[in-house]
Amino acid sequence: MSTSKQKNESSNRAAEHKVSYLNHIGGIVRDYGEHYIKQYQPHLQQIKLLRAMRLCKSPALGGKAIVCKSCFNYHYVYHSCGHSHCPICQSIKREQWVDKLKKELLNVPYLHMIFTLPHQLNGLARNNKDVIYSLIMKSSWNTVKTLAEKEENVGALPGMINVLHTFGSDMKYHIHTHCLVTFGGWNQTSNSWKVPKRKEKIARYRQINSTYKNIFLEGLKILFAKGEIEYHQSFDQVFECVNKLSWVVHNTKPTIDTQILEDYLARYVNRVAVTNSRIEYLKEQRIVKLIYNDYANQLDGEPAPKIVKPLDPLSFIHQFMQHVLPPYFQKSRRYGLHASATKKKLNTDLPESILRDGMLIRTLMQIVAQLIKQNPFQCQFCQSQEYQILDIKPDKNWITKFVKIPNQRPPPIKFNIECLHI
């Protein structure tokens, strides 16, 4: 093949790759983000997220062009926005979080427990996100701690890693916490590891559910008394609405192989609600198709069937933005044996038999290679490993193709008041 023909083909490939970034959630935000801001008037944190997402992995932020020296193929890699809520980037941070998690876990079986907030409290949570989100995370830990301390259940201090989710697979408002809980705990009196009295749970299910409800409602009562809750109903009205309900705590069987649980928790640690793979944006029809799991019709031992829900772009953005967490909110927390203060105290007491072997933290390039499932330095067309990396400068005017920037007004004219005559 001639050199000129190779260059022509590589330029076509480059053009195809260069427009590929339009086919994801960033395209929706570029087309409708400013309309959403004008119509819904979100708070400043949400506006910052929208304007970061529309630039993420686009020429506006610059990047690198990897040029194959054999077939002259151009592979463009644009910089990401780095926003902690962005669903487009953060893949490497998620993998690094998994590596740190593996290093922290003990060599014991773990339970996966899911504490769900009744939907009747959704309105209360929307108006008081910071305090309600913190309350459900603290209540889930206090539930496990209270039950595990009883001799009839465990009689020891367990460990918990807690991750907050505010969304279901269909992006509806569904507040719950995913918890990795040690199946057993450390008894500081006898300096020994104790396992639960039951084979597959730390306590009876009804006891877990009722304890969780009582602890949460007691904490909510204290927040009302302190004046930290802003809501149109009193605590007594809220209590009457949810006290007779059966609060749900889902428990899985204990397992020593926590790989699946680790990956599941990490999936949404550094992003919110949805991934690019579950979105199809039909720009001309002005429709966003959301693909989600139909857990209601899932059969035992089989994956959940998929459902496609069509949304108009503004409704899609609004459903997404309701899951943005309050500023500086810590959605992943450690308790008990996994809390840093407790680990320092018990560092020399815990036997080596329950400690995992030292896990190696992967390098950045090892993570990249795993994410893209191929050698990051190998051409995808000719498999050559000879390449050249070129810098791509940020294109500050690129976003103006999608968003109209208003004309800058000149500063107001200054008048001398003393010279004005009435």
Q: How many other CB atoms sit within 10 Å of the CB of residue 282? A: 11
171 within 8 A of 292, measured Cβ to Cβ: yes
Q: Which of 202, 244, 223, 245 is nearest to 136 (CA)?
A: 223
pLDDT confidence bin for 372, thresholds 50/70/90:
low
The per-residue pLDDT for range 174-191, each reduced to its tens digit, is 999 999 999 999 998 888
CA distance 257 to 352: 18
Indicate the helix (H) or strand (E) that contains 2: none
Which sequence spans correspond to the domains of the chain?
Answer: 3-85+386-401, 91-273+323-368
The per-residue pLDDT for range 233-245, each reduced to its tens digit, is 999 999 999 999 9
**Of residues 139 and 261, which shows the higher confidence score?**
139
Q: What's the length of the chain?
A: 422
Q: Which of 89, 16, 84 is nearest to 56 (CA)?
A: 89
> Which of the four CATH numbers 1.20.144, 3.30.70, 3.40.1310, 1.10.1220 does domain 91-273+323-368 have?
3.40.1310
Cα 138 to Cα 27, 122, 178, 405: the distances in Å are 38, 18, 13, 45
pLDDT number for residue 74: 85
Contacts for 69 with CB less than 8 Å, ≥ 6 apart: 384, 386, 387, 388
